[in-house]
Amino acid sequence: MIKEFAVEPEAIVSSYRDFSYVVEKFGVCEGRVISRFPKTWKRLVYEAAQARHQGRVEGKRIEERLRRLPDEVLVAMSRPAGTGGWIEVAIAEHQRQPFDYLLTSTPQGIAEAVPVENLDGEHPCLQITREISIPREPEAMASACAFLLKTAKVIKIIDPHVDFSKSRFREPFKAFMKHVRAGTQIEIYRGMDDGGPTRDFLRQNAERFLQTALPVGVHACIFLLPAGPMHNRFLLTDLGGIKFGVGLDAAGDNAAPEDELSLMVPDVWKSRWGHYSLGELLGEWDRAVTTITK
């Protein structure tokens, strides 16, 4: 759902207008991000801009816009830096672990390399992927969320009906965990209905399941909330969020076989992120039911 682009620093600094045209195409909510490749990418862009514009206002404008690039636009993907010029290193890394696309100053003879001069709104690399339809199957759900899962420090799973006594919730969660890195914090939010499962039932099943399902170094908390304020289903991380139209469970008998997933725009993501936060919850609803660390 989210594409990773390697962007050649020298290819985007010919002018401030060109630089802005490129970077404004990126962000988690746009379905595409710039890979911080190598980790000194910002410095390489700055040096290329200074060399091209030699202290003129154009270079200063690029420098200021570069400084303000948000984390959800330029994302570190833990790729090795390599040695040599950017093009050679990027192509070698692409052969090891492919980028979705490479934006370059000149053609490179590989299908995924796009010269910046060819970049326009009709180019296939800018095809919109902010909303997709997927089968409600664990691997398909996890694949759609993979980028956010593997880059997250905090993951918030929000579904008023999460119940780990049921395989339709267990199996997608296990598929999600294949993409999560050590040190990630997972928060699960579930609504409490009158006549539904009891608090003890949910706690005991969650503890039993999470002890085996969590990767090493990952810990999880579960919050039980009044069902009334909950409706929409989300997977939120510190970089962005995805809204699920049906739910975070796999399809069961007589259930919708597909779901529509949408990337959340920044304002909506920030609002939901703030709403499902420990400080607000402690003042308004019941507390964590259980905390599991593995």
Provide the pLDDT for residue 222: 87
Q: Which helix (H) or strand (E) holds 143?
A: helix 138-151
> How would residue 41 be classed by pLDDT, with cut points 50, 70 and 90?
very high
Q: 157-183 pLDDT, tens per residue?
A: 999 999 999 999 999 999 999 999 999
Read off the pTM: 0.89
Domain residue extents for the chain = 3-126, 131-293
Chosen CATH of 131-293 out of 1.10.1240, 3.30.300, 1.10.10, 3.30.870: 3.30.870
- Which of 222-236, 239-253, 275-289 is predicted least confidently? 275-289
* More confident of the two residues 134 and 280: 134
Would you say residue 294 has pLDDT above 60? Answer: no
CATH class of this structure's domain 3-126: alpha beta
| Residue/partner pairs of 13-17 with CB below 8 Å, 24 or more apart | 13/45, 13/48, 13/49, 13/52, 13/53, 13/62, 14/52, 15/58, 16/58, 16/61, 16/62, 16/65
Q: CA-CA distance, 150 to 173, in Å (whole number)?
A: 14
> How would residue 283 be classed by pLDDT, with cut points 50, 70 and 90?
very low
- Which of 46-55, 188-197, 215-224 is predicted least confidently? 188-197
CA 103, distance to chain mean position in Å, is: 21
